[in-house]
A = this chain, B = another copy of it.
Amino acid sequence: MRELCLPAGLRPDEVSELDRMIQKKQQVKVDQYLFHEGDIAQAIYAVRVGSFKSFRLREDGVWQIVGIHLPGELFGMDALADQHHRVSVQAMETSNVCALPLAELASLSIRIPTLGRQIMRMTSRELNTSYENHELLGRRSAQERVALFLCRYADRRRNSGLKADSFDMAISRQDLSNYLGLQLETVSRAFRQLKDSGCITASRSLLEIKDINKLRELAGFCDKTTDYAYQQ
């Protein structure tokens, strides 16, 4: 827990109190569900290792991925409105999460006001990410979407202290295309263009960013994420 951003800003004794509260540091496998849409919420979750996807399912079986969660980020706050989850969450690779049980959270956040504010901050951050996704999907070409996604994905990895110029994307093309509102084949073609223009190399899942500036340019330059960095 200590390496997560959640405890940032807490006093040492508060951190250890929080540490005791953490129900379990679960190990989860690929495709394992943390919870389903409609479930009564038990906890919110902090990613330690790996990555997760949030998605909504329609009656006709069509699903839409609406969020991706990397180490250091929180998810499950969708249920804080009415205790019901509005998305399902699945691990995209072998991962590791902390579950923060809601029951204990309520009492604890009275004793540690900073904790509640910290969760509020992380939720606000997730809201902004979702707003950015809206921007990503609104009136952008396929190439721009993919390039912009890669830029932001790399940025978020960097924020989480992970390698950002060469890494293994746990997201399948299937999931990525769904997330970006495109067809699988279209994403594949966009990758080809990016490869041909020399700003990335990509095999099945290993991605290498060769020229971040060119990538940003192809993304339709609009990334202000580093203008005023998130404080924690």
Contacts and interface: CB of A to CB of B under 8 A. Distances in A.
A2 interface: no
Contacts of A130: 127, 130-131, 133-134
A81 B130 CA distance: 13
Given A38-B228, A58-B222, A181-B139, A86 B134 contact: no
A110 interface: yes
A82 interface: yes
Interface in A191-232: 220-222, 227-231
Interface string A118-162: 011111111110111111011100000000000000000000000
A72 to B, nearest CB: 14
Given A60-B221, A135-B66, A82 B230 contact: yes
Interface in A36-94: 38, 54, 56, 58-60, 62, 64, 66-67, 77-84, 86-87
A12 interface: no
Interface of A: 38, 54, 56, 58-60, 62, 64, 66-67, 77-84, 86-87, 106, 109-110, 113, 116-117, 119-128, 130-135, 137-139, 178-182, 220-222, 227-231
